[in-house]
A and B are shown apart, each in its own frame.
Chain A
Amino acid sequence: MKYDVILSGVGGQGVLSVSAIIASGAMAEGLNVKQSEVHGMSQRGGAVYTNLRLSDKTIYSDLIPVGGASLILSMEPLECLRYLDYLNPEGQLLTSSNPELNIDDYPDLGTLLGKIRSLRHAQVIDARKLALEAGSGRAANMVLAGAASKYLPLNAETMEDYIRKIFQHKGDKIVEINLKAFHLGRRSQ
């Protein structure tokens, strides 16, 4: 079994923390994991992505080959297209519909979302709305983690355990919000 994920977004959106939750869940379930991250210059509001590789065999390359990814999980709609080359034609694309408008030539949002929806196996989620419903707009990335959990070769409980672990120092309330966001994402269509 191998499962490659590209996580994408804009510097500051929490791409790394979602990646860490999936990676930790996979390790807890005994899979081999490699997670290649982006640090430094591009983190300043630029396009960022991580390569997350899960497998029950040895993983050699830190980078996913073209057409190798089973899932693209994007915190931002424009960013999900940037790495489409890496998505297997049978793979799943999952993206938030909420744009980061920090550039001048951002395409028309309606057209963009339309194009994404017309792709095979694409799901577009209003992550911010569901996060607010859970209690905080900042939990949008947990909504996306929840939506991804439907496809990942992992038990949702393992990921939930890890969400509890990373938010526990912020208090029960924050743990609740993030778990709720995760569940709303998981149930989203």
Chain B
Amino acid sequence: MPEMVLLGDEAVAMGALHAGISAAYAYPGTPSTEITEFLIQNSKKNNGPTAHWCANEKTAYEAALGVSFAGRRSIVSMKHVGLNVAADPFMNSAIVSIHGGLVLVVADDPGMHSSQNEQDSRYFADFARIVCLEPTNQQEAYEMTREAFSISEKFQIPVMIRLVTRLAHSRAVVQLSDAQPENKLGKAPEPNSWILLPSNARNQWHGLLNTQKEMQDLSEKSPFNPLKLNPGFKEFGVITTGLAKNYYLENLPDLAEQPSHLHISYYPFPAEKIRELATNVDKILILEEGYPFVERFLRGILPGGMEIIGKESGDVPPEGELNPDNIRPVLGLPSHRGSKQPDIQISNRPPQLCAGCPHADSFNALKMALAGYEKSMVTSDIGCYTLAALPPYSAIETTVNMGASIGMAKGASDAGYFPVVAVIGDSTFLHSGVNPLIDAVAYNTNMTLLILDNETTGMTGGQPTILPSSRLEQVVLGIGINPEHVHLINAHRKFDEENSKILKTEIEYKGISVIIAVRECVETAKRHKRKGGQA
């Protein structure tokens, strides 16, 4: 059998390729980006299957739905908060009768390595009443992705693969199996199942609820939910989900007895198996990477007298990631000892804008423009420029979700605040900034929008933005802003003085104005230069 060294993300991508996908869609987002990067490289090399970056996660999801409607298999990938953006097509896609297999990969980020929250996507799978698979290593990531396509077509539902950062970005050897061909092209046989008029939608919802029992039965039988009983040891049993299993197994050799153990990686979870485990033990310890998702249900499944310990009971850390060390206390094991720190202060080294980054110069100009005001407000967004929240810049005051800077600036201005500036990157603007700008234009809101156009999606490693930088101005003008209040400036410190004057004038203008600060990200510029040199 051939084998490859793959990141968890790449193992998912290989699984999708070998499951015969015809298309892949995504918006870049750590820790999911490498899935689609891998598929784009593959597509260039092998002339397909299609792999595209999209404007945002919602449009990516909708494209995948189109592939399914046409009978073929597709994969759509995003980070956890991306699913909030794609929630509308996602929730409704559970109701249609999926035709070509549709797999949604969501990479959660417990510990918030590169995200604004640590929401657990298993809740979304449960909310939509679909199947979710959760691999614990690269091999499973490959196999479960393949399996997910079969389950998707069997139950006519989208299937979610839930990854977390530590698996997405960890590399190991994966054994591959034979690839299967693409599905034949052909529309979904019952067209009504895709027209969610209330009368159809009621039927479809009824159908989905009826399938729950089958999904549940499969869960009870699934080898993805292995139960190992040890009738000789009753003191406590263990349930693990996700990577918690690895950390548990890492510590198992240190335990005097091997507790009965159920691992869950197929949801809806196997209630019968949980009950079976419970009849064999006096207490259940539950270790989950993410929210106490199974734990909260357990309290309804098991008889009242059963003691359950986990995150809800306060015995397992409820925030951040689990790791091999922070589950030792609840297993009754002593902490490991490491080497001792010498007595010297280890200063923090937070991430920062690269030397020469165009954003740094734009923030400089903005600070100069705002210097004369007693008070001012700068809302901002998600990207490298979020780092301007830290010293020495301390230039932005909000970062909430993709595109929020513009809507929030409108709200603050409506509330009477002046001056208000929204700062957003080009890629984030095209992701979810255009719609709130339409709102601001409709009411000629007194605010200034500064678009930092570095001609790339910088934070995730320099993917191309969905539209070339040269078209950004036309997009803005097309919404109907007075062209006199739209400016292109060069984001270079040479022009700080001049740029700050333009900003100041537009801040003073009583209406919506847009300033686009253009200069390429120094990282991608380096890469382009190297490539150019070779050609």
Contacts of B350 in A (CB 8 A): 46
With an 8 A cutoff between CB atoms, is B384 at the interface?
A: yes
Given A36-B166, A39-B31, also A46-B351 (CB < 8 A)? yes
* Contact, CB under 8 Å: B344 / A45: no
* Contact, CB under 8 Å: B352 / A102: yes
Q: How far is the CA of A165 from the CA of B304 in the complex (A)?
A: 62
With an 8 A cutoff between CB atoms, is B349 at the interface?
A: yes
- Chain A, residues 116-144, CB within 8 Å of chain B (1/0): the string is 10111000000000000000000000000
* Contact, CB under 8 Å: B347 / A41: no
* Contact, CB under 8 Å: B349 / A63: no
Binds B, one of A106-114, A151-159, A173-181: A106-114
* Contact, CB under 8 Å: B324 / A35: no
Given A37-B7, A102-B349, also A67-B114 (CB < 8 A)? no
Q: What bracket does the count of chain B residues touching chain A fall in?
A: 35 or more
Contacts of B325 in A (CB 8 A): 65-66
Contacts of B31 in A (CB 8 A): 39-40
Given A60-B250, A66-B325, A118-B342, also A45-B336 (CB < 8 A)? no
With an 8 A cutoff between CB atoms, is B243 at the interface?
A: yes
Contacts of B339 in A (CB 8 A): 67, 84-85, 87-89, 91, 93, 119-120
- Chain A, residues 68-84, CB within 8 Å of chain B (1/0): the string is 10000000001101101
Report A's interface with B, CB cutoff 8 A: 10-11, 23-24, 27, 32-47, 59-68, 78-79, 81-82, 84-89, 91, 93, 102-103, 105-107, 111-112, 115-116, 118-120
Binds A, one of B52-60, B86-94, B169-177, B201-209: B169-177
Contacts of A38 in B (CB 8 A): 113, 169
**Residue among B338, B343, B347 with most chain A CB within 10 A:** B338
- Chain B, residues 325-344, CB within 8 Å of chain A (1/0): the string is 10000000001111111111
Chain B stretch 237-252: residues in CB contact (< 8 A) with chain A: 243, 245-247, 249-250
Contacts of A64 in B (CB 8 A): 324
Interface of chain B, helix or strand or loop or mixed? loop
With an 8 A cutoff between CB atoms, is B5 at the interface?
A: yes
Distance of B250 from chain A, by nearest CB (Å): 4
In the complex formed, the residue of B with least CB distance to A119 is B342
* Contact, CB under 8 Å: B335 / A66: yes
Give me 27 A-to-B residue pairs in the complex whose CB atoms sit less than 8 angstroms apart, sorted by A's number: A27-B5, A34-B171, A35-B172, A36-B166, A39-B169, A42-B113, A45-B353, A45-B354, A46-B350, A46-B351, A59-B172, A60-B249, A60-B250, A62-B166, A63-B323, A65-B250, A66-B337, A67-B338, A67-B339, A79-B349, A87-B338, A89-B339, A91-B339, A103-B347, A103-B349, A105-B347, A116-B342
* Contact, CB under 8 Å: B351 / A43: yes
Q: How far is the CA of A35 from the CA of B31 in the complex (A)?
A: 15
In the complex formed, the residue of A with least CB distance to B325 is A66
With an 8 A cutoff between CB atoms, is B30 at the interface?
A: yes
Report B's interface with A, CB cutoff 8 A: 5, 7, 30-31, 33-34, 113-114, 166-167, 169-173, 243, 245-247, 249-250, 323-325, 335-354, 384, 387, 459-461
Q: How far is the CA of A40 from the CA of B459 in the complex (A)?
A: 6
Contacts of A66 in B (CB 8 A): 325, 335-338
Contacts of B114 in A (CB 8 A): 39-42
Besides the known contacts A81-B341, A106-B347, A115-B342, 15 further A-B residue pairs in the complex with CB atoms under 8 A apart: A32-B172, A44-B351, A46-B349, A60-B247, A61-B247, A66-B335, A66-B336, A82-B346, A84-B338, A89-B340, A102-B352, A103-B349, A107-B344, A107-B345, A115-B343
